[in-house]
Amino acid sequence: MNSPEKQSFKDDTLSFAKEATDKSNSTPNKTFKLLIVDDENEIHVMTKLVLNDYQYHEYGLDFISAFSGQEAKTILKENPDIACCLLDVVMETKDAGLEVARYIREDIGNSKIRIVLRTGQPGKAPEKQVILNYDINDYKEKTELTTQKLFTTITTALRSYTHLLELDKKNKEIESKNIRLNEEIARRIVAESNLTKYNRSLERMIESKTQRLKEALTSLEATEKQLFVTQKAAIVSDLSEISLDTLSASNSMIASNLKKMSLYRHQITFLLEKYSTLEAIIASHRGSRKELAEVTKANVEEIEAYKSEIDLDAILKKYPGIIEDSLKGIEQISNAINDIKIFVAINDEDWKKTDINGLLSAVAGKQSYGDKKIDLQLDLQDLPLINLPEKNLGRAFQNVVDNALKAVDTHGIISISSRYEDPHILITISDIGIGIPEKSLGHIFVPYFTGWDKEEGKGLGLSFTKSVILSCGGDIKVKSTVNEGTTVTLCLPSQTHLP
């Protein structure tokens, strides 16, 4: 406010720096942003003249002017890296400057910028009251701001600002180190837990010879039955449409293990029968110990010879590993069958009137970013309600967004948009991430294909998504550039009817 009461810089308190003879050599390349907030143009002109050649640690000043509190708020929101603000108190209102100070600290949460209040009307904003009630860094009356004091004020503010930046940088470094330390601790805890489990497993394996034989036989018989059931399920399921090297290898391994376990089972059963015969002879004998030794000698020698022939110790050592490998094979086959069932069930869901924008908003609302800083942007236009398989379509959208999250490293942008272009509804999901190599683009819809450096997921997300979109009579397109990002466009017909 330009009132007679407001004070400005006086000629006797300011001395201007001499004009440099070669400005190209004296102008620093790096600058601190200095925001001047005052409704008097003279204050802006004077401040810029006085500080025109100012340098701090080879940094100059980049002047930004605001002539009202409201204008200052807009500039501050758009420029979070402003280092210092010379802030007048009385402008469009008597406390406009104080409102800007509150806005800086509370509304936009900027704790680094240094705030220097300059007032020509100290009675309107007493220094003691302002210092106590507002988070400012300095308070100056315009009449006391000589050239030297203005230089000192700005230097003090910038020194404090750079210290805050350095402290923030160190805090982030410490936070990063803590994260890595916690990850290492977690890995060690898991390793120790696994070691403890392994030791307990070894302890349970130390048993008497006869008990080990009986348990081995029981395990072999149970696993053999389970393998036959699994093989039958694999044959019954129509796996011919998906070529899986893992599934083929699992079947071959299971067949080989079945043969081994069948042989081991017969050998151990035969050995147990010999032990039973020996126990019966001992139980029924009524003669002396010498006579008993003579009677049992032939049986004992036969048992020892048979144990050596079948290499019993090797069998007892191998069969737990064979069972473990077989169970892994069973799990791989079971997973493959379950995966196929998911695709087969796509056409089983009933269609109903579906709000596509609602599905997209739900997907966006339940995302978890972990340590990543993701800016997820929604641009959803009005869409008609259409008949669709709602659950499968929501899962298809989720798969595409999950891929976008994986593609973003530590921070980035993911945008989700929808628009109606009769007779089509277009959904676009884009990310600024690592992108997809051109050689991989032709394989991204193939089941079990994954292009990530680290194994994340099965590689069924996009193939499932494409199956759902095609079942709706739509189409899917993917464009990607390495190190720039990926855009997935889903096209659905707007005139859909119940199948």
Indicate whether 23 and 158 sit together in one domain: yes
Indicate whether 287 and 370 sit together in one domain: no
Indicate whether 381 and 305 sit together in one domain: no
Tally of domains within the chain = 3
Residue 447 domain flag: yes
State residue 332's pLDDT score: 66
Last residue of a domain, one of 138, 167, 196: 167
Indicate whether 333 and 363 sit together in one domain: no
Indicate whether 96 and 236 sit together in one domain: no
Residue 361 domain flag: yes
Rounded to 10 degrees, what is the CA torsion of 351, 352, 353, 354? -70
Residue 225 domain flag: yes
Indicate whether 90 and 66 sit together in one domain: yes
Indicate whether 238 and 342 sit together in one domain: yes
Indicate whether 15 and 133 sit together in one domain: yes
Indicate whether 299 and 379 sit together in one domain: no
Indicate whether 386 and 471 sit together in one domain: yes
Question: In terms of residue numbers, what domain contains 418?
Answer: 352-493
Indicate whether 397 and 333 sit together in one domain: no
Residue 198 domain flag: no
Residue 342 domain flag: yes
pTM for this structure?
0.38
Please list the pLDDT of the chain residue by residue as tens digits (499 residues).
Answer: 443 334 333 333 333 333 333 444 444 568 999 999 999 999 999 999 999 989 998 899 999 999 999 999 999 999 999 999 999 988 888 888 889 999 998 999 998 999 998 877 665 556 667 777 788 888 888 777 788 888 988 999 999 999 999 998 998 899 889 898 888 888 888 877 765 665 565 445 445 666 766 776 677 667 655 554 454 343 334 333 443 555 566 667 677 777 777 777 777 787 777 777 777 777 776 666 666 677 677 777 777 887 788 777 777 777 777 777 777 777 766 666 666 666 655 677 888 898 999 999 988 887 776 777 888 889 999 999 989 888 888 888 888 888 888 888 878 888 999 999 988 999 999 998 888 888 888 778 777 777 655 445 566 778 788 888 888 888 999 999 988 889 999 999 887 543 4
Residue 197 domain flag: no
Indicate whether 16 and 161 sit together in one domain: yes
Last residue of a domain, one of 144, 167, 190: 167
Where residue 33 sits, what CATH number does that domain have? Answer: 3.40.50.2300
Last residue of a domain, one of 167, 199, 231: 167
Residue 175 domain flag: no
Residue 35 domain flag: yes
